[in-house]
Structures are given as structure tokens and as C-alpha cells.
Chains A and B, each alone.
Chain A
């Protein structure tokens, strides 16, 4: 995956500054209420603040300990602020992306076509759906639309970050254009397909800013779990006071709130929305635009990937891989003739023949002066191409065409030739017969080349429990060969759009989730049916509307990355939840002995960290609890490291890392903070 220039550093100074301010603005209780865990912390902070003020006005001898109380209160507020900061950071990164996009939405004027055939100049925002505009070279396209007349090269770098221009033309699957992109050549007539504020760019900006962010299903479920845990801990702490009174060891509000805040899952509670926003953000960085967070999560759950053969699995062009001479012909002679005939052939197939001849037989390119060589181009009628050079007449092409040529030149067909041709076809390749005059020389073996690294990719997917299905228009024989070579689990040959649709429905009936990519209008129903439908940005408007994601790079392989991002999003949530809960064990060992140190000195046996004083123990736990939020912001924004492996090994790895780690880390952290604040003399 090429890293795009859109990548924003985690610690961008501007974003941090804005996030810091936002963290305070988010203290508004109405905003906080959306996050019950952090709302409880805020209420606790308010309570301790009031108590602190009361203590300052009317201190109670032997109870009031202003330094300790002030520090607890401050750190509680920090806990809330740190969580707000995390969310603001994630939003800030989104906003920075959005700003980049907004620059693309420069105010332009448009040439609107009137019914009488004349044009008028209007501002772009005045354009409505179904208006028709004319855009000429050098102008910006004023809105999303479909070309209804003409062909043009368009610079889409504002959206995709890709500087090479792309061709857009009326009719077919490359007719969609996006507002904010620029026409480089020619003139096109466009029918506008969206109203202002609803354009692709608008939606994209809203998405990355998180303005329309709705909680995803898993996020809601997790939020319920966290709220439930918060209530349980609230019960545990609220009822602890009566038990403490029974034991003649009543506690101050500072200690009780500290215990509560340390126990409730503030780590995940504080980072939950940041994780969600960052997940969308990561997709945008990969130039994929999800229409909803739900789709991103669904990507993580995908069981079956439908991949188009051409462009996704294979390079899309056939390449020469072998020269097969007839009996009695030297392989070098065939290669030489093949190379000669291809010098003028600019197709990828032709170039691959030259390259193969050079690589195999060290046949260098020769200077063929135009007066000595006469190139015969390929036509649909002859279905051959070739060269007349130095008295030689070399032809290459489909077997029927070349045989006709040989017979016409006075030669005769060789049965052996048919045999070779049929064998190649059977193996899924394309045979190209070469003849010189009336003498057949042999066959060039053209093959669909599977992209490098695909086999490993599919292996990884298999380990993750994802089945890959190759979709191709090839005959079953050819399809099977390529499927075997690429290592996909299954294939659909001679696929028509209906077949694709049927396959998706069949998989879904088994309870599986299906992801696919598509670009054509005839892909639209399948894209809509699939659980994750990634439309290519070069595709038609219908395809883009049917899918729930759009890939701006129009790279079908990216589906695999989309799946990984979806998984990473869920894994990050799960890991931090586990970490957060596991943390509580150490906090109990810090706070409980400290609370009852006066009433029951024997409880110091539970102070296994050997914390210096009760105040220092409680303070250290609260500080650790606050700092861990800050420390985990990068992890929340970047996501936990994803490695393709089976669920069992993933689980083992993450349980060790975040479960066991979550138990151990706070013991060390709290002890270190205790030593530090004791040394400074804060407690």
C-alpha cells in the first residue's frame, strides 16, 4: 500500500492545539452525557471540587488534607480532559483531512445549458440535479455528474491524490465525474446528479469530520457493557461507605470518588469514540470512503471475498511466457521471428514478446529502418499482424488466421500446430501462431499473469477464515488454471451479473457476509446486495450509489485492506476493553489497603506494591488512571497491530498482551508514580 501524502502525523502541533481547546469545550455536561463512563468521572470531579472548596472555607482538623485533596481533584479533572482530548485529537485529524478536501471545493462558475441551446454562466452552488453544463479544458467540474457527450482527460488529484490524469467519456462505465476535479483536455457535456451540499465531496467532508458519526452496532454493544460495569462499580463503591462505617472507618468523598474513577472503565470509555473516528480516518487515508461506520465493521466480519480476476488477481494483460517451436525448428529462430514481428506492436502482449526473447535468447533489439521494414498492423479482419523485412514475411496471430495465410502463400497446414494450440488453450493460455511465408514456425504461449504476492495474500485471508472467490468471464478451464495458480479458494467462470448476484445470495443464506468490488452499472445490484460493496471511483454513478464504500484509487485489491481495517477497528476496542478491566486488579491492591490503613493496619498485607503512604497510594492510582488514557491515544488512533493469523492465535496473542499485560502494567506504573511523588514530596 503506497503511503499517501495525506498521512497526518499523530503529534501534529496544530491539531494538538485545537484538540486542547476542544477538550475544555467538551466539558459541557450535555456533551459528556453521551459517554456515561466519563460523565460519571465528571460528576465525581464536581463533587470533589465542591468538597475541596468546603474544606478550604471550613477545614476540619485532622480530616482536611488540602494538598492531597487538591491533587486528587485536579487529577480527576485531568482524567475527564484527557478523554476529551483523545476524542478531539481524532476529530482534529479528521478535520485536517476535511480541510484538504475543502480546498478542492473552490467556488467555481458553471456554463449551464439552457433549453434553447444557449448557455448561461451561474455559480456552482446554484446548480441543481439534472442541470446540464458544459466544461472545457482548464475548467473545474462544478458538481458531481455524468458525462452525456464527449470524452476528456480529467485531473482527479484533488480527490484521489493521484496526479496522472484519467480518461472520462460518455456512455459505458467511465462516465462519472466528481465536482472539484479539473478537465485537462477536450470538452464535455455533463448532467449534474446531485444537489449542492449532497455532493460526493460534501459527504466525504462530513464523514471525515465525524459530524454525521453514528455509533456502530458493535460500539453500541460495547457501550452497554461499559455502562453496566460502571453501574456495578458504582454499587460497589457506594455500598462500601456503609460497610466502612460499620467497621468504624468512614471514608472521605475524595477517597470514594478516587476508588470509583479508578475502577470504572475510563481507559476504554475515554478512548472509545476516538477509536471509531480514527477507524474511518484510516480508511480515508487508504483513499477509501465508507458511507457508514456500520460498513467498516461489516468489513471486519466478512467471510467471503468476491474478486474480479482482471485487474485484481491478474495484471490484466496476457504476457508471453514460452516459445514452442514445431519439430525441426530451432527455438531461437522462432523467438527471433516473433521478436521481429513485434517491434511495431505497442500492445502489452507485443512488448512482452520482445522482452521474453531478449531474456531467454539474448536477442537484442535491432535498428529497423522504416525503408527496410514494412509493418503490418493488426486488424479485426485479418486477425494477424507482422512485418515484411529484408525479404522475409513474418506473421503472427490466431491459429485460423495464420493457417489461412500459410495456405494462401502456397504452404500446407501442420497437424502438430493444432495440437500445441489446443494444449495451450486447455491450460488457460492464449496461443499465438508464428509463420514465415508459407512455413509455420511455432507458437507463442501467452498467459494471464497473476500479480506478485497474491498467493501469500490469499493464504493470509484463508488463515483469517476468509474465503476468496475469483469472478471471471473466462471459460471454466482457463478459470480453473488461474484459480489454481493464484491460490483462490473458488472461482465463478463465465460469470454474468446474475450469477454474481446468485452467488452472493447463496453465501448470505448460509449466514455469511460477502464483500465485493465493482464498477459497472450491471454490478450495481450485486454491490447493493453484498454486505460490503466497494465501488470504484472510476465506475458509474449507479455503481457508486449501490455500494457502501468508494475506492478513490479504483484499485480492486484494496478490498483486502478494507477488511483488515475493519478487523483492526474491532480488535482495538476489544484489546483496550480487556486492558481497562484488567487494570482494576492492581488498583484494588493500591487503594483498598490505603483506605483502611488507619482502622485495620493489618490490611497493609494487601499493599503488595509497598506504596509509601495511604495518600500516596490513592493519588498514584488516580494519576496512573489518568495518564494511561494519554499514553494510549496513539494506540487508539493507529489501531492495534494487525497480523493475519487464525482467531485462536490472535486471541492468545492479544490476551497475553492486553489481558495479562493489563494486570501487570499498572502494578509497575503505580509503584513508579508512588516513588516519584514521594520523592518530590507531594504525598
Chain B
């Protein structure tokens, strides 16, 4: 680790901290229907949208209505994306003449990959089992994927606001209007900031065009070995079953183009993470400079950090908002410290190699990392994108050291509550808050209260349902895959504990709606496409429904005025408690599985064995 590395990490966090209040205040005003500096321009647009869609902005919804509206909207969006993918071959903005997604497998009737992608972007996961440059047309990228980057983020933020209303309101049957929250989020928060942000990215060299792909002559032609094929295109095999190889000289390179900047900014700002290119944020057209890297990192944390301030504002307990922020901060620094330390220390098996950082080399474990980012910014990126549900990568998690890779995996397993996905991070952490308040609240000798709301059987039931879904999906799906040689383990590129980590990571990333991959696993198969698809779908909506039910129930309750006898949710003690509950619940659930994955891999690496 270097002082320079830590300086960048601290600077990043300091700016995040500085953005929290202004963004939090702004969002409070937007969702409260108060006037902001954008109103003169955008308010007429908002009104027009309501008139066109027939939404009555004064009408409030019960939690069931809110949930129904959200589910219907998501379902229609999902189908829309599925159709765009399948029909892109006949739609415009397709200079590469790419065929419809899954066109080859359409004979089976079920297009697993298109389904997977449709679910993935609807759920704010952005898990990509496809290679974008060779699969998606510009229209699909913009109208299909970037559209979902906006809407799935707006849905998440709307839900968080609805949950906060549940806490803040007293004896109210309703928790807001989904359509209004959704429109305001897009119009006032996401679109304006993305418009400016995209221009910042363009200034750094991120491309934005509709051109067909460029071809460049290689300065230095490369020779590669490929499978030898017969005239019919079939691979020729030897008598012993191995494939025949032949050498091929490559003299040209295709350079993919497209409307990248507009998609890149919302990919970070909405914690989506789906790359325009396969290499994601490691690609120079997505993330060309250290500054663009720093800027994108700030975008990832911004909204989620701001929402903690909104929480404080709307509930009238600003210190509670900061207490939650503090808990997230603690978990963030633990994660980055471990991950940076593990990566900067390098690989003990390369004992003879100089792995120390110097003016000439970044040192540490540089496998799978970009030289322009180095160890610190790669570790920081991996931590930040898994603290949130962003899932973008600027380095390959699969190539991290076992402990370095344990951090992203654990971050997601804690259900991404370290700032977290936009909206989902906040309502995720609030579920933990409810559980912490319940367990510890009993210890002060009262029926547990959260900001004056009594936490009763129904609330605990909903919170537990929400918490249960997550391990259920991850553990069950990973367990099946790990003992199924035909469709599960056969797709692994690595054996032993590392292979198990790859399977675990895939389902964890899906259920957590993260979308980053540990790679090393060929997930574009019928089994993985279908299961990760369901994993993402249930991981999003089955957790949202109990959460909204809890919000609706909390909104109905009376508020008990706070007194000395009330459980304090504003103190450092509460922050400590919340951190402990998050870590203990997460650790207890996943420790057995992790011990057979990254933990044992780390110990074996020290004993000079790799996979």
C-alpha cells in the first residue's frame, strides 16, 4: 500500500461525504414536491407527463397499490427489452447488422440469454452473460439497456422514498404515489445530472457516436493458434480426441464504437454496472483516464450516500441519518482496507519477483488490472461497486488474491448495504435497522421502537422474510450447481476452492442485483442463464414485497414520543450495533460456504497451492 493510494481513497470519500448533504436535501425537496432550482424548466414537463398518462399526482397509494404499480411497470419494461433484443435485426440503428439476440436458439422456444438480459436490466443487476459488442445493436443499447438503467434506478429510489415515508408518517394508510415518485426521480435527479456527467466523460475521451465499428491495421501483426476446421466449418479432431490446431496471423483489429458516454454515466450514477463493452470500465472507451475513473466512482456512491441524509430529513432525525451513514462508512473502510492490503501485498508464490511499489511499477498483484488504474484504484473500484449494487468492473475480480476477492463477495453477501444500490441500499440497511432495533430494543425493557414506531410481530415477520430470500436463493442455487457435473461444474474454468468461489459469486451477484462477475465461469448456458435470471428476479422483487408491506404497516402506526426510555438510534452505540448485526447475520449465514471458497483458497495459497 502506498500513501498516494490511501490519499486517493480518502479524497474520494471526503468528496462523497461533502456531496451527501446537498444531494440529500435536493432529493428531499424533489420527492416532497417542493420547489427546486430546476422547477422553472422541468415542472411544466412533469405536468405534461401526468396529463399525457392520466396520472393524478395528488392521489396517494396504499402499499399494495404501490407494489402493484411497480410490479406492472417492471413487467412491461421487461417484456419490452426482451422484444427489442429479439427484434433488433429488423430495427434501425444497427450498423453492424447484428442478428436478434438468441436468434440461433429460437427453435427451442425459450431464449434463455435474452430472458436473462431482460431480467438483468429490469432488476438493476446488469449481469451480462453476453458480449455486448457482438450481440447488441445501438438501438438495443440505448432504448433497451440505457432506458432500463434509468428506470430500474428510479424504481429503486422511489421504493426507498416510500419506505422512508412509512417510517416518517403516522397513522397514514398510504406511502406516496409510485408514478409521481418515479417521474420525479427521472426528471429532476437522474436526467439532469447524467446530462452534465456524460459531457464530463466525453471530455475525458469517452466516445458518443452511431458509427460502424472501426478497423485498424495492427502495427505488429499477431499470430494465434485456433481450432482447425474443415470446409463445412466443423472442428477437426485427432484420433486421441484432441482438436487439431492451426496458426493464424492477425493483422487487423476491430474497434467497437457507439453511444457510450450517455450509457456510461447512468451505468455508474444508477449503480447499474452493465458495460457498453465486454471489458466494462476497464475498456478505454468507457473509462479512459484516472480522472474519469475517479469521477465514475463518485457517481456510484453519490445517490446512496445522499439518501441517508434524505432519511434523516424526512424522519426528522438528522442524527439518525448520519448514524446510518456512519455504519456504512465503517463497513466501507474495512472492505477497502482488506482489499487494498491483499492486492498490494501481491502473491507470495511469486517470491522471487519484485512486487513492491516503486516509481516504475505499481507493485502488488497486477494480474487482471489496468496499468492506468493500478492497485489502489482497482481495489477501490471493486469495493465500491460491490458495496453498492453497481457491478461495473475496471479489473478482473477473478484474478484478485483470495482475500482481495473475498471482499467483493462478502460485500454483496451483506446484501449490499454499504451505501448500496440506489434506493435498494437504503431500504436494505433499514431492514437491518429494524432487526437491530428489535433485538437490542428488547434489552432496554420496552417493546422495541424505531423512531417512535413500535416494532411488532408483523414487522419482524416481513423483515425476516426479506432477509431469508437472499441466502435461500444463493445457497440453494449454488449448492445445486456445485454438485451437478453436467451443467454446473462443467462450466468452470478453475478447479477446487476457486471454482466454488466462482459459482458462489455468480449467484450472489445475481441475488444481490450486483451484476459483476467473478468470470472464470461460462455463464451463457441454458442452466446458468435461466437460474441466474430467476435469481435476479426473485432477489429483487421477493425482497421488495415484504419490504413494502413493512413500510405500509409502519405508516399505519401511531408514533410514540421519544423519551429517555426509548432506544436511541442516533448514537455511536447504535452505529456499532448496526454494524455488528449486519456483519454477524451476514457472516453466520455465509461463513460455512465462504470457508470452503476464498478462505481455504487463501490458506492454500500460503501453503503454495493455487487453482
Q: Is A462 an interface residue (CB 8 A)?
A: yes
Q: Is A512 an interface residue (CB 8 A)?
A: yes
Cβ of A296 to closest chain B Cβ, rounded Å: 12
Query: If A218-B442, A224-B460, A651-B440 touch, does A588 touch B600 (CB 8 Å cutoff)?
Result: no
Q: Is B603 an interface residue (CB 8 A)?
A: yes
* Closest residue of A by beta carbon distance from B489: A246
- 8 Å CB interface, B430-446 against A: 435, 438-446
- 8 Å CB interface, B567-586 against A: 567-568, 571, 573, 577, 580, 584
Q: Is B93 an interface residue (CB 8 A)?
A: no
Main secondary structure of the interface of A (DSSP, over half): helix
Q: Is A566 an interface residue (CB 8 A)?
A: yes
- 8 Å CB interface, B456-497 against A: 456-457, 459-461, 464-465, 467-468, 471-472, 475-476, 478-480, 482-483, 489, 496-497
Contact-residue size bin, chain A (C-beta under 8 Å from the other chain): 35 or more
Whether A602 contacts B590 by the Cβ 8 Å rule is: no
Chain A neighbourhood of B456, CB < 8 A? 217-218, 221
Chain A neighbourhood of B573, CB < 8 A? 648, 651-652, 655
Query: If A231-B468, A242-B480, A568-B445 touch, does A465 touch B563 (CB 8 Å cutoff)?
Result: yes
Q: Is A659 an interface residue (CB 8 A)?
A: yes
Chain B neighbourhood of A650, CB < 8 A? 443-445
Q: How far is the CA of A642 from the CA of B446 in the complex (A)?
A: 13
Q: Is A600 an interface residue (CB 8 A)?
A: yes
Whether A224 contacts B603 by the Cβ 8 Å rule is: no
Q: Is A184 an interface residue (CB 8 A)?
A: no
Chain A neighbourhood of B606, CB < 8 A? 602
* Closest residue of B by beta carbon distance from A263: B588
Query: If A245-B483, A297-B447, A571-B444 touch, does A228 touch B467 (CB 8 Å cutoff)?
Result: yes
Q: Is B236 an interface residue (CB 8 A)?
A: no
Query: If A217-B447, A659-B580 touch, does A236 touch B561 (CB 8 Å cutoff)?
Result: no
Chain B neighbourhood of A225, CB < 8 A? 435, 438-439, 460, 464
Query: If A246-B482, A647-B565 touch, does A511 touch B596 (CB 8 Å cutoff)?
Result: no
Whether A511 contacts B559 by the Cβ 8 Å rule is: yes
Chain A neighbourhood of B558, CB < 8 A? 511
Chain A neighbourhood of B607, CB < 8 A? 602
Query: If A239-B476, A242-B479, A243-B482 touch, does A221 touch B471 (CB 8 Å cutoff)?
Result: no
Whether A301 contacts B443 by the Cβ 8 Å rule is: no
* Closest residue of B by beta carbon distance from A303: B563
Q: Is B302 an interface residue (CB 8 A)?
A: no
Whether B447 contacts A301 by the Cβ 8 Å rule is: yes
- 8 Å CB interface, A490-536 against B: 510-513
* Closest residue of B by beta carbon distance from A600: B600
Q: How far is the CA of A362 from the CA of B604 in the complex (A)?
A: 92
Whether A247 contacts B603 by the Cβ 8 Å rule is: no
Main secondary structure of the interface of B (DSSP, over half): helix
Whether A571 contacts B445 by the Cβ 8 Å rule is: yes
Q: Is B407 an interface residue (CB 8 A)?
A: no
Q: Is B560 an interface residue (CB 8 A)?
A: yes
Query: If A247-B497, A592-B595 touch, does A236 touch B443 (CB 8 Å cutoff)?
Result: no
Chain A neighbourhood of B465, CB < 8 A? 228
Chain B neighbourhood of A570, CB < 8 A? 442, 445-447
Cβ of B327 to closest chain A Cβ, rounded Å: 15
Q: Is A608 an interface residue (CB 8 A)?
A: no
Q: How far is the CA of A247 from the CA of B577 in the complex (A)?
A: 35
Cβ of B413 to closest chain A Cβ, rounded Å: 12
Q: How far is the CA of A533 from the CA of B416 in the complex (A)?
A: 47
Chain B neighbourhood of A238, CB < 8 A? 479
Q: How far is the CA of A240 from the CA of B591 in the complex (A)?
A: 10
Whether B588 contacts A233 by the Cβ 8 Å rule is: yes
Chain B neighbourhood of A467, CB < 8 A? 563
Whether A462 contacts B564 by the Cβ 8 Å rule is: yes
Q: Is A466 an interface residue (CB 8 A)?
A: yes
* Closest residue of B by beta carbon distance from A592: B595
Q: How far is the CA of A239 from the CA of B577 in the complex (A)?
A: 29
Query: If A235-B475, A301-B446, A511-B452 touch, does A243 touch B592 (CB 8 Å cutoff)?
Result: yes
Chain B neighbourhood of A652, CB < 8 A? 573
Q: Is B69 an interface residue (CB 8 A)?
A: no
Q: Is B318 an interface residue (CB 8 A)?
A: no
Query: If A232-B468, A588-B588 touch, does A463 touch B564 (CB 8 Å cutoff)?
Result: yes
Whether B479 contacts A243 by the Cβ 8 Å rule is: yes
Q: How far is the CA of A462 from the CA of B606 in the complex (A)?
A: 58
Q: Is A220 an interface residue (CB 8 A)?
A: yes
* Closest residue of A by beta carbon distance from B584: A581
Q: Is B200 an interface residue (CB 8 A)?
A: no
Whether A221 contacts B445 by the Cβ 8 Å rule is: no
Whether B603 contacts A237 by the Cβ 8 Å rule is: no
Q: Is B168 an interface residue (CB 8 A)?
A: no
Chain A neighbourhood of B455, CB < 8 A? 221
Whether A584 contacts B472 by the Cβ 8 Å rule is: no
Whether A596 contacts B600 by the Cβ 8 Å rule is: yes
Cβ of B432 to closest chain A Cβ, rounded Å: 13
Chain A neighbourhood of B482, CB < 8 A? 242-243, 245-246
Cβ of A458 to closest chain B Cβ, rounded Å: 13
Whether B592 contacts A466 by the Cβ 8 Å rule is: no
Q: Is B84 an interface residue (CB 8 A)?
A: no
Chain B neighbourhood of A228, CB < 8 A? 460-461, 464-465, 467-468
Cβ of A61 to closest chain B Cβ, rounded Å: 25
Whether A465 contacts B565 by the Cβ 8 Å rule is: yes
Cβ of B553 to closest chain A Cβ, rounded Å: 12
Chain B neighbourhood of A462, CB < 8 A? 564
Whether B592 contacts A217 by the Cβ 8 Å rule is: no
Can you pick out 25 interface pairs between chain A and chain B where the beta carbons lie within 8 Å of each other?
Answer: A218-B442, A224-B461, A228-B464, A228-B465, A232-B467, A232-B589, A239-B478, A301-B446, A466-B565, A513-B560, A574-B440, A574-B442, A575-B442, A578-B443, A585-B587, A588-B591, A592-B591, A596-B600, A600-B603, A603-B603, A606-B595, A606-B599, A646-B565, A647-B446, A647-B564
